[in-house]
Amino acid sequence: MIARLRISGEDGCVSQTPIKLRHLPHLRTRRLGQLGGLIRPGAHSSPLVALGKRFVADPPGFPTMLITHEMDDVREVFTNHEDFSIGQLMSRLSSHDMVFGKETLIFLEGEDHRRERKLYSPPFQNKALKSYEELMIEVVERELPKWPIGEPIEFLQAGYDLAIGVLLGVVFGDVAAERSGRLKDAVNAWFHEIESRGFLAVTLLTPFLGGFTPPYPPLARAQAEVDEVIIEEITARRAANEDGTDRKDVLTRYINTDLDQHDDAGLARSMRGILLGAYETTAITLGWIATMLAAHPEAMAELDAAVDSGDEARLDTYLDAVVAETMRLRPVSPFTGRIAIRDTVINGVEIPKGTIVIVPILLIHESESLYPDPLTFRPERFLDKRPDGHTWLTFGAGPHRCLGAQFALAEARILFRAIIEKRRIDPIPGPMEPARRYHTGLSPAYNARITLRHR
């Protein structure tokens, strides 16, 4: 029911009154633990589905939450950036602003966001992607000999190695050897602090402190070291008076655009944010693709046939479908949300200011009405059509859709094409490797254990 009907006036006219949250199904406090079932594979079998496509939860210490997978609600929440904010949600529930900085793209709204996004977008759009392909293939060729043949390998670690190799090359390009080594060491130390138990404890406190994240000096020091090396590189490129004609890396592209009006510290923070935003998500996605191919030999057989045919277009087409289907079943982030920044109404439901609207992406991806036989890995569903941006929500939707979505899809295809042209993935009998919670996402529980063979 969208709205309650009310008889008003002497003529008996019918008018609509928005539904208040208190009139929607409510999740009892003792059942709050069941929310986790909505962000794990098989979400459609959660007992919470019986509450309907909308229900309300009031976790202690948190704002009221509306959980909805009603598609009209979802579209409205994603596109109505005047009434809903993802940046303020991140600040309220997580330590994102400490890691990325409050001036970065995700925290901007309205015209500020549109202007900055337009400046940041070009290196991640189709026109630029082709220039990165050679580098990506070189990274695979460098890493491939390190992977054992005929014995199990934890491909998730291989994914991390591929991701950092590609990112440093794409974002920074050729960097002097001494500075390159310092940059890699500084980035790894920064990632280590982000993964540390100390920072995890600080992060867990944030929602209960109204969005305040206590200082964490080890992370601040690690970030400062990364920024210091990046600023040195920016200064060196300017001093060399390079015009960027022969350089295609992201940093050079930004230096030669209006982004150069930003101060060096701001540009360094942006580069650091790109590294973090793409590093872990890329590695986990690569791990899931390998896991899916090991568990579904029929898909691997189709790729084998495409390789043997020598038809690169056929191979790329099927790989694109494999990537899309993997991301449908194992989105890196199985949920997203927005916070209402003023009183509003969506799809006949009254949303007070401060309400958090949670969109369970995985539950939508497992909808029988949207994806028939939804739990089956079937890349063929994406062979004849591109993923629908309204129902395939791996990268979110609306004005804040992931800036690097096109890059991520192309990167996964290019890297796996380079891999399977040289290696085969052995089938693994039995149930597929399960998922485990990793921060707010899903990662292969056994680190994507597969076995490779020479082709």
Instruction: Please report, rounded to a whole number, the percentage of residues in the chain having pLDDT higher than 70.
Output: 95
What's the CA gap between 120 and 404, in Å, rounded? 10
Mean pLDDT of the region 261-288: 90
- pLDDT tens digits for range 376-387: 999 999 998 889
What's the CA gap between 279 and 84, in Å, rounded? 28
What's the CA gap between 162 and 286, in Å, rounded? 9
What's the CA gap between 451 and 419, in Å, rounded? 13
Burial class, 69, CB count within 10 angstroms (exposed 0-12 / middle 13-18 / buried 19+): buried
Crossing angle of the two packed helices 217-239 and 177-195, in degrees rounded to 10: 160
**Residue 320 belongs to domain with CATH number:** 1.10.630.10
Q: Supply the pTM of this predicted model.
A: 0.92
pLDDT over 90 (residue 349): yes
Look at 21-25, 102-106, 451-455 and tell me which has the smallest mean pLDDT: 102-106
- pLDDT tens digits for range 28-81: 999 999 999 999 999 999 999 999 999 999 999 899 999 999 999 999 999 999
Rg (the chain; Cα; Å):
23
Structural domains in the chain (count): 1
Q: Residue 372's pLDDT band (boundaries 50, 70, 90)?
A: very high
Asked if residue 90 lies in contact with residue 97, where contact means CB atoms within 8 angstroms, the answer is yes
Q: Which amino acid is at 164?
A: I
What local confidence, expressed as pLDDT, does residue 260 receive?
Answer: 58
- pLDDT tens digits for range 11-35: 445 447 899 999 999 999 999 999 9
In which domain, by residue range, is 212 found? 3-454
pLDDT over 80 (residue 193): yes
